[in-house]
Amino acid sequence: MMAPRHRLQRRRILLILGLGGLIPMVAGCGDLGDLRDLVEGEATYVVTGGRWLDVHTGTLVENEGITIHDGRIISIGPPPDTADFTVTINVEQEDTILPGFFDLHAHYAVDLFGEGRVDETAAYPELFLANGVTTTFPAGEMDPVRMRELRLSIESGDRRGPRILNSGPYFGSWRRGWDDDAMTADSIRREVDHWASLGAAGFKAKGARPEHLSPLIEQAHEHGLTVTAHLDSGFGNTVNPRDAILMGIDRVEHFLGGDMMPADRTAYASLQEFDDFEGDALRDIIDLYVSHGVNFDATLSIYGYWGPHDPEMTEYWTDELRFLTPYMREIVEARPPRPVNESFAKMSPIKRRTLKAFYDNGGRDLITLGTDHPSWGQYWSPFAVHRELLAIARAGVPPADVFRIATLNSARAMGLEDELGSIEEGKIADLVVVRGDALEDVRTARDVRFVFAQGHPHWPDELLARAEGKIGPADASEESAWRPGR
């Protein structure tokens, strides 16, 4: 039985976060599971040891103490004397404490049978959190009602998972049932009002015509919300990112646009042939982003999944297939290797070079992190954040700025920099403790010891265990729910 609350408030717990995991050091405490139940309440937490990353300066700071109470960081430095029930967590001195990661292209959708996407909600929330991702923007939801329900269940504490910044349905031809001619400026404005009233944090356009994108941007801004988009070149009544920037868009995904992508062909056709990295076309479009303060979500790693096998990018550091149901795992493992997408293979190195040019020419603070991976049964989105970190580093971005992109930049892109994105007094306590020096190798961040999300502690081993065997149908009778194209 739990001790009375007045007794808990006079107790202190010391946790040693060592090689063997968390070791409780408190008299009268049972096993670690009991301790975790004990600290679910309104404790004050003090994280000591290790070094924390100041994403403003890109430096590691010796950690004398990060004190967390009521979901926020109340002090950094020697812990204040407090009479509250206190849990102190000592981490290894070589460990790194990072702000929680953002994924601003965090598809919860999966396409297990190649017949259309469905939003996966049984395992993904725990998997995102276990990987240190504390904030997600789904960037277009297949079932926005279901995704809203998931957000509310996490906010209420009924589910464990990252903060979800709902995006609502796609705006454009990518939405099932979208009718270009039926979607007028007024109907788009009404939809924006509806989803904003239900708590959407921003919107995503994909396959939108100019006459659709402009009212979407205008009405979203009326609500103080942002718009991102998967755009093209202007070919076939699509929208070039240059024109979207002039409309007032907040973030652009995948392609920089401008004269790099003339309107006589698709963006994909242009990018796989682009080689003028010193020319006016690239410089001019970067200058336009910088002058208008528009964010760029490069989504580098997705192209690696579809190109030739790249062991550094596509290796598993854990058995991701274990999160499939046994029935679905057998199906996935029996499939032949996916064919190489030659155009993606050509684009992958070009995209890395364009991102580095963007970074070098004033765009450092405008790059955000997005993974964009609706999985087909391999390489789950929640693990993809670490592949995206590596892809950005391989483009030539220094590790400190890679983590800045994944945290502070992405918080700013959603208007949340006053609350999230860095380790500062007064901010919401979203923290990731990883084993080792993350500035030596961004892959260090894959080895997560401990996560704070909104001031609440989470253990990755428990989160991963909760997610095992959850994704996909349990047997043939359940397949129809995962085959939306039928």
Q: Give me 408's structure tokens.
A: 């502070």
- Residues near 375 by Cβ (< 8 Å), separated by ≥ 6? 110, 111, 381
Neighbour-count burial for 238-262, b at 16+ CB within 10 Å, e otherwise: bbbbbbbbebebbbbbbbbbbbbbe
CA distance 369 to 409: 8
pLDDT at 479 over 80: yes
- Residues near 342 by Cβ (< 8 Å), separated by ≥ 6? none
Per-residue pLDDT band at 83 (split at 50, 70, 90): low
Helical packing angle, 280-292 and 342-358, nearest 10°? 60
Alpha helices in 58-156 (DSSP H): 124-130, 144-156
pLDDT score recorded for residue 343: 86
pLDDT score recorded for residue 416: 98
CA distance 407 to 382: 16
- The predicted model scores a pTM of 0.93
Query: Rounded to an integer, what is the distance from CA 71 to the centroid of its chain?
Result: 20
- List, in order of start, the domains of the chain with CATH numbers: 101-302+345-413 (3.20.20.140)
pLDDT score recorded for residue 471: 98
Q: In this predicted model, which residue has the larger pLDDT, 2 or 233?
A: 233
pLDDT score recorded for residue 350: 94
Assign residue 227 a region: left if phi > 0, alpha if psi is -120 to 50, beta otherwise?
Answer: beta
Query: Rounded to an integer, what is the distance from CA 125 to the centroid of its chain?
Result: 11
pLDDT score recorded for residue 36: 52
pLDDT score recorded for residue 33: 43
CA distance 121 to 161: 10
pLDDT score recorded for residue 314: 85
pLDDT score recorded for residue 12: 55
The fraction of the chain above a pLDDT of 90, given in percent, is 83
pLDDT score recorded for residue 307: 72
Query: Per DSSP, which regions of 137-225 are E strands?
Result: 163-164, 202-206
What digits encode the pLDDT tens for the residues 261-276? 999 999 999 999 999 9
pLDDT at 364 over 80: yes
Contact between 240 and 261 (Cβ < 8 Å): yes
What digits encode the pLDDT tens for the residues 465-478? 999 999 999 999 99
Q: Which helix (H) or strand (E) holds 91?
A: strand 86-91
Per-residue pLDDT band at 86 (split at 50, 70, 90): confident
| Phi then psi dihedrals of residue 133, to 5 deg | -85, 110
pLDDT at 9 over 50: no
pLDDT score recorded for residue 19: 37
What digits encode the pLDDT tens for the residues 135-186? 999 999 999 999 999 999 999 999 999 999 999 999 999 999 999 999 999 9
CA distance 219 to 221: 5
- Give the mean model confidence (pLDDT) for residues 412-425: 98
pLDDT score recorded for residue 52: 98
Average pLDDT, the chain: 90
DSSP state, residue 315: -
pLDDT at 377 over 50: yes
Closest by Cα among 184, 13, 23, 179 to 92: 23
What's the angle, vertex CA 347, arms to CA 359 and CA 258, rounded to 5? 60
What digits encode the pLDDT tens for the residues 36-79? 554 555 689 999 999 999 999 999 999 999 999 999 999 999 98
CA distance 215 to 198: 19
- Residues near 91 by Cβ (< 8 Å), separated by ≥ 6? 17, 47, 48, 49, 50, 63, 97, 433, 449, 450
Contacts 24+ apart (CB under 8 A), 477-482: 479/113, 481/118, 482/110, 482/112, 482/113, 482/118
What's the angle, vertex CA 156, arms to CA 150 and CA 162, rounded to 5? 55
pLDDT score recorded for residue 344: 85
What Rg value do the Cα atoms of the chain yield, rounded? 23
pLDDT at 249 over 60: yes
pLDDT at 32 over 60: no
- Give the mean model confidence (pLDDT) for residues 316-323: 96
- Give the mean model confidence (pLDDT) for residues 471-486: 92
Sign of CA dihedral 307, 347, 255, 189: negative
